[in-house]
Amino acid sequence: MKSMTSVLLIGALSLSTAPAMAADQTPAYTPLRPVSECLRPDRINEWYVVDAQTVIARTGPDHYQVKLQAQCPQLGIGQSLRFRANRSNMAVGMGALCGEAGETVSSRDQPPCGVQSITKIDKAQFEQLSARATRHGMQP
């Protein structure tokens, strides 16, 4: 019973400090939901490296912007780009990238770069960003 009281007390304390923390910190990212809206690497038709921290991809009629956590200047060299889901999404068999911790983008000459966020964009935004791209490729 004593351990249950401790658990309840800790839970109450964390709830009381949550609003104060939320005011000071904004979340690093907000994953796409539902998961069916996430980027599926096996469905990518084309991709573009816009700059060292931005990649865009098209999967049929859907368009995505992928922001990376750091500068990744070697992405896309050799027309190679690999999108890797985190372990939990790989375990459920989808392999989708939603903008969650553990997701990466890499290429032959660039070690894995952590994904900061993934957002859906419209066709016009995709075309505007692709016009500025430094590298591009098609997935097999």
- pLDDT tens-digit profile of 24-63? 554 466 888 888 899 999 999 999 999 999 999 999 999 9
Residue 28 falls inside a structural domain: no
Report how far residue 17's alpha carbon sits from residue 24's, in angstroms, rounded to the nearest whole number. Answer: 11
What DSSP element (H or E) covers 129? helix 123-131
Please report whether residue 47 resides in a domain: yes
Is residue 108 included in any domain, yes or no? yes
Q: Which tokens is 109 given? A: 């000459």
Task: Flag whether pLDDT at 6 surpasses 60.
Answer: no
- Asked whether the beta carbons of 61 and 70 are under 8 A apart, the reply is no
Spatial separation of the C-alpha atoms in residues 30 and 51, rounded to whole Å = 22
pLDDT of residue 138: 82
Mean pLDDT rounded to a whole number for the chain: 83
What's the Cα-to-Cα distance from 138 to each of 7, 51, 104, rounded to whole Å? 52, 18, 18
Q: Which domain, by its residues, includes 102?
A: 35-138
> Is 17 inside a domain boundary?
no
Question: Is residue 49 a part of any domain in this protein?
Answer: yes
Into how many domains does the chain fold?
1
